[in-house]
Amino acid sequence: MQDKPTILIKNIRAVDTISDRLTDVFISDGKIQEIAPTIHAGADEVIDGTDLTLMPSLFDMHVHFRDPGQTDKEDILTGTAAALAGGVTGVLAMPNTVPPCDNPDTIRYIIDKAKDTGVDVYPVGCITNGMRGEGLCDYEALKEAGCICISDDGRPVENAENMRRALELSNENGLLVASHCEDLSIINGGIMNKGTVSRKLGVKGMDRASEDYITAREMILASSVGARIHICHVSTEGSTAMIRFAKSRGVRVTCETAPHYFMLTDKLLEKRDAYYRMNPPLRTPHDVKAIIEGIKDGTIDCIITDHAPHTDEQKANFETAPNGVVGLETSLAASLTALYHTGEVPLRRIIELMCVNPRRILGLEVPAVQVGSTADLVIADLDRKWTVDPAKLHSKSHNTVFKGMTLTGKPVITISKGIIRYDERKEK
């Protein structure tokens, strides 16, 4: 374990949901000790914050680290390195590992391997044994091992009664239930959004009814037992509208989306490049507009990445490649580019979506740029323009949907519990 140094950040714009000010910030013993216009304290590290912005660090509540079992794609150490390079100090790691996270031993393995990385990795436990959709896992044992959330993400729980029962039990054990909303019988082998582009390419499409139907089902089931439900990776106008309505009716539903769903459309698939394939798929301009409106009006609670690494070899064939894209190192930059720099969403709202709400939903401590807060922080250059080079990512895999794109805004330093864990200046 590293010693916790003293850090003095000079002349920086410090922003959270409470305040926005130009100031100095002094950190010691893992916490923010002083915030003032001028601080003269000696420090182990002095950072010139001129033209930079200090914010609470991000929490990504939807990643796949592939560890155990598929470490050719990613492992916990490379996944957390990618997180830190993106300003992320906490993640929910989804359970579709090999073996799946349906037992305490696998949960403890992940927590133990991540403990010294500077990223709080919370393994998600399976809803059903082996993610097979049948018998329910021992949620009490999973929680005792360190779980705070259960999901069969990567596939849906097809049996509605099993899902209803899981939601019912979640009220008893305090675990959040997160749902991958997809009807496999509707998908039936589809590989991209069903529509004009899929027909043009002559490939089988994923009908949006698949996502919309299970989204509605989950909210009905949750409402029936008074449970919480979290809807993963929302991509359609229909799901957004139904979640908005359910919230207005008092259903205990929260949801998330990813930058590619409010930035990109299925037109990119005309390149027949599997780097642009994920599940749910890129949709239409109409859906992109609806997702942005959902972010603006509070329907959508969180921005996540669904960071899903695959090797170059696995992504080589457009029609047979696995779904998924990496995103931890581009999520803040993409969100700033599409939402903040376009004037659609203020910076404080982006902080809510990427830092505050994920932690609140999970019942975790929420860092702030305030005296006494744990120093989980990111320093970003909001106006930096940079081009995404897959070869320079910290992830083992390069399958970013933003390859070759110029984004505006970049994390440059990430501080986790008072320790500088990523510093772009030292990588040059």
Ramachandran assignment for 5, one of left (phi > 0), alpha (psi -120 to 50 degrees), beta (any other): beta
* Sequence letter at residue 127: I
Instruction: Write the CB contacts of 47 (distance below 8 Å, at least 6 apart in sequence).
Output: 7, 8, 9, 10, 12, 379, 413
Measure the N-to-C terminal CA separation of the chain; round to a whole number of Å: 25
* pLDDT value for 428: 62
* Distance of alpha carbon 95 from alpha carbon 177, whole angstroms: 13
Cβ–Cβ under 8 Å, residues 357 and 335: no
* Distance of alpha carbon 309 from alpha carbon 307, whole angstroms: 6
| β-bridge partners, 231 | 179, 255
**CATH annotation of 57-362:** 3.20.20.140
pLDDT in tens, 78-123: 999 999 999 999 999 999 999 999 999 999 999 999 999 999 999 9
* Sequence letter at residue 413: I
Residue ranges, CATH 2.30.40.10, the chain: 7-54+372-426
Q: What is the DSSP string of 153-164?
A: TTS----HHHHH
Q: Please state whether beta strands 53-56 and 377-387 pair in parallel, antiparallel, or not at all (unpaired).
A: antiparallel
Dig out the tokens for 395 from the structure: 């992830």
* Distance of alpha carbon 27 from alpha carbon 221, whole angstroms: 46
* Distance of alpha carbon 219 from alpha carbon 239, whole angstroms: 11
pLDDT in tens, 227-251: 999 999 999 999 999 999 999 999 9
**Which residues of the chain carry a pLDDT beneath 50?**
1
Phi and psi at residue 78, to the nearest 5°: -75, -35
Cβ–Cβ under 8 Å, residues 164 and 152: no
Q: What is the DSSP string of 89-135?
A: EEEEEPS-SSS-S-SHHHHHHHHHHHTTSSSEEEEPBPSBGGGSSSS
Among the listed residues 67, 183, 306, 381, the single catalytic one is 306
Residue ranges, CATH 3.20.20.140, the chain: 57-362
For 17, 160, 256, the CA distances from 416, given in Å and listed in that order, are 19, 40, 24
CA atoms 427, 71, 124, 266: torsion sign:
positive
In 124-259, DSSP assigns E strands to 149-150, 176-179, 192-193, 205-206, 229-231, 253-257
Query: For this structure, is 306 an active site residue?
Result: yes
Angle at 338 between CA 282 and CA 295, to 5 degrees: 75
* Fold adopted by 7-54+372-426: Urease, subunit C; domain 1 (2.30.40)
